[in-house]
Amino acid sequence: MYLEILVSPLQPCGFGYALIKALSRNDPSVGGLILITVLTMSTSFTVCYCGQEVSTQMENLHASAYMNSWYEEKPKVRRDLLQMMILTKNPTVFNYRRWVHFDYVTFATVMQGVYTYLSMMAHFAD
């Protein structure tokens, strides 16, 4: 998993570079390269989307428990809602060893890395 995180910007970059070269040569393999490039980008997006969804749902759960009229409920329900609010008070993030948090910010960083690597490769190839 650690290696996959480090290599994730390089995979779409390599396929993107091959796509740019194939487009410049009018190569018939362009369709396959487009598909592969999109699929390699979607792997990073899928993981980051799931992490963002977990964080968002936990925030929504905390907000809905707090915004509920919990003060009018029976003591047992209040106790349960209080436990839920305490458990959801701290943000829950989908991460890898508390080092990389998977969310939209991470996906944007990966895509920025793809663009940077691709620009660098295109610059040195000319």
Q: 47-78: per-residue pLDDT in tens?
A: 889 989 988 888 888 888 778 887 788 888 88
Q: What is the pLDDT of residue 118?
A: 85
Instruction: Say what the pTM is.
Output: 0.73
- Tens-place pLDDT, residues 7-39: 777 888 888 888 888 888 888 888 898 999 899
Sketch the domain layout of the chain as residue ranges: 8-101+116-125
User: Which residue has 């895509």 as its token pair?
Assistant: 111
